[in-house]
Amino acid sequence: MDRRAFPHLGVGVGLRRPHYVHVLDARPAMDWFEVIAENFMVEGGRPLEVLEGVRANYPIVLHGVSLSLGSTDPLNRAYLRQLAQLARRFAPAWISDHLCWTGVGGHNLHDLLPLPYTDDTVAHVVRRIRDAQDILGRHILIENVSSYLAYSHSTLTESEFLAAVAEAADCGILLDINNIFVSAFNRRFDARRYIDEIPVERVVQFHLAGHSDHGAYLLDTHDHPIRPEVWQLYEYAVRCFGPVATLIERDDNIPEFAELQAEAAEARRRGASVTAAGHARAAAGSGYK
Q: Which of 52, 63, 53, 60 is nearest to 27 (CA)?
A: 53
| Residue 263 makes contact with Fe ion by CB under 5 A | no
Residues 174-193 that bind Fe ion (CB under 5 A): 176
What is the rounded distance in angstroms from the CA atom of residue 156 to the CA atom of residue 269?
Answer: 35
Cβ burial 35-66 (10 Å sphere, 16+ → b, else e): bbbbebbeeeeebbebbeebbeebbbbbbbbb
Identify residue 76 by its one-letter amino acid code. N
Per-residue binding string, Fe ion, 64-103, x by CB under 5 A, is ----------------------------------------
Q: Are 253 and 247 in contact (CB under 8 A)?
A: no
Residue 48 or 206 having the CB closest to Fe ion:
206
What is the rounded distance in angstroms from the CA atom of residue 32 to the CA atom of residue 166?
Answer: 25
Instruction: Report, in Å, the least distance between residue 105 CB and Fe ion.
Output: 26
Give the nearest residue (CB) to Fe ion: 207
Binding region for Fe ion (CB under 5 A) out of 47-55, 106-114, 171-179, 212-220: 171-179
- Binder to Fe ion among 128, 207, 250, 279 (CB under 5 A)? 207
Q: Are 84 and 77 in contact (CB under 8 A)?
A: no
What is the rounded distance in angstroms from the CA atom of residue 48 to the CA atom of residue 264?
Answer: 26
Q: Give 193's contacts (C-beta < 8 A, 6+ positions apart).
A: 159
Residue 126 or 177 having the CB closest to Fe ion:
177
Look at residue 175 and give its three-state secondary structure. Answer: strand
Instruction: Report, in Å, the least distance between residue 249 CB and Fe ion.
Output: 5
Cα angle, residue 35 at apex, residues 33 and 38 outer, rounded to 5°: 175
Residue 31 or 176 having the CB closest to Fe ion:
176
Instruction: Report, in Å, the least distance between residue 247 CB and Fe ion.
Output: 8
| Residue 220 makes contact with Fe ion by CB under 5 A | no
C-alpha dihedral (256, 262, 268, 270), degrees to nearest 10 = -130
Binding region for Fe ion (CB under 5 A) out of 191-199, 206-214, 225-233, 267-275: 206-214
Instruction: Report, in Å, the least distance between residue 75 CB and Fe ion.
Output: 22
Binding region for Fe ion (CB under 5 A) out of 124-132, 133-141, 162-170, 173-181: 173-181
Residue 10 or 53 having the CB closest to Fe ion:
10
Instruction: Report, in Å, the least distance between residue 143 CB and Fe ion.
Output: 6
Binding region for Fe ion (CB under 5 A) out of 43-51, 70-78, 172-180, 267-275: 172-180
Instruction: Report, in Å, the least distance between residue 106 CB and Fe ion.
Output: 26
Instruction: Report, in Å, the least distance between residue 44 CB and Fe ion.
Output: 29
Q: For residue 252, give the DSSP letter.
A: S
Binding site for Fe ion (CB under 5 A): 176, 207
